[in-house]
Amino acid sequence: MTVTILTPSAKVKRLKFHIPYACKSLREAIKSLNSSWYHSDEKLWSVINTIEHKKKLTDMIESFGIKWTTEALPDSKKKSIPNVALNASSKDAISRLHEKLVLKGYSVATLNTYKTYFTRFVCFYNSRDLMSIQKEEIEAFLYKMIIKENLSDSAQNQFINAIKFYYETVKGQPREYYDLQRPKKSKTLPNVLSKEDIKKLISQPKNIKHKAILSLIYSAGLRISELINIRIEDIRSKEGYIFVKAAKGKKDRRTLLSSKLTELLRLYYMEYKPSYWLFEGQSGGQYSITSIRKIFRRAIKTANINPWATPHTLRHSFATHLLQSGVSLRHIQKLLGHSSSKTTEVYTHILNVNNKNIQNPLDNML
């Protein structure tokens, strides 16, 4: 019996390894290791990827008289576009898709996503006339992608959106011309931090710029893409609001400007003196989304709070805390920029779960 350790790159955060089924005692011992986790979908265990954790792991394996070996970590990133020599018809289809997306004013992110997924579809049927492909053949392609690449629900939907855009918008086929089977929509509740955790998180950064970034995302309920697009002139301190220009769906809106945040932003401005964007990189221009995520991850780790949280969790927390304080759903919907009230109503389910006024039946029994 041999334990297989998958060799990660330096940037991979967890060290994964496979334990043979018969090594029951070793598995029980692994559970005692700090940060150990079992990935049921991959049938692999993991610990945080550090030199110390790897030494503890190998020492423990050897103490049970079990051998271990290493293998290269399989590439779990999104598969690249296959290296296929596209024919003229396929190239024209991709070009027309790109052109139509630009003409309809889709964002660069959406344009790149649709183009990537559609190109992979075209590569699969490169020898075929795309107009001759039937619904059943498209679903067969999706099935193969799901099985071969363990395609997520999100990726499956992106494939469908890109394919339908080509047939229905580029080629002018009737809407729902290809009524493709979509994955069952999951009904998940947004991740939310408590007010105490938010306070701990925001207090972690010593750098005033980093503190201002986290404070602004939370206090205004911003998406991370909206934050990097905030200009100095969008902070309307006299009127007491923040102007969010061309947010998701190309919609402008106003959101709250905290008085405490205003004080913090003034101190930040005096120190950094940004020229156009509120937050700018070292060489000028917009601050990067990657840098914001790093700031957030570092603060989460230092504060030792929910490791599953993301910068978007701050937006969810903003909405939930407003609802807890009695602000109406309609006002929260406006502040978040939701088109439908149903999107905002998800926060009521979080309150229902945490409602302290409902007494648990077990408490009545005992």
Distance between CA atoms of 345 and 366, rounded to whole angstroms? 35
Catalytic residue among 200, 254, 312, 334: 312
Distance between CA atoms of 149 and 19, rounded to whole angstroms? 23
Distance between CA atoms of 14 and 50, rounded to whole angstroms? 8
Q: What is the dihedral of CA 100, 110, 12, 152, to 10 degrees?
A: -90
Helix (H, G, I), strand (E, B) or coil at 72: strand
CA 126 to chain CA mean position, Å = 32
**Residue 293: which of 215, 203, 214 has the closest Cα?**
214
Catalytic residue among 53, 211, 223, 316: 223
Let me know if 135 is a catalytic residue: no
**Residue 22: which of 71, 66, 55 has the closest Cα?**
66
CB neighbourhood size of 63 (10 A)? 10
With b for 16 or more beta-carbon neighbours within 10 A and e for fewer, the 185-214 pattern comes to eeeeeeebbeeebbebbbebbeebebbbbb
Please say whether the beta carbons of 96 and 136 come within 8 A: no
Let me know if 24 is a catalytic residue: no
Cα angle vertex 79, ends 78, 84, to 5°? 150
Alpha helices in the chain (DSSP H): 24-30, 51-63, 88-103, 108-124, 135-149, 153-164, 195-203, 208-220, 224-228, 259-272, 289-303, 311-324, 329-336, 341-344, 346-353, 361-365
Please say whether the beta carbons of 53 and 33 come within 8 A: yes
Catalytic residue among 128, 171, 209, 248: 248
Let me know if 96 is a catalytic residue: no
Catalytic residue among 53, 315, 316, 321: 315
Residues designated catalytic: 223, 248, 312, 315, 338, 347
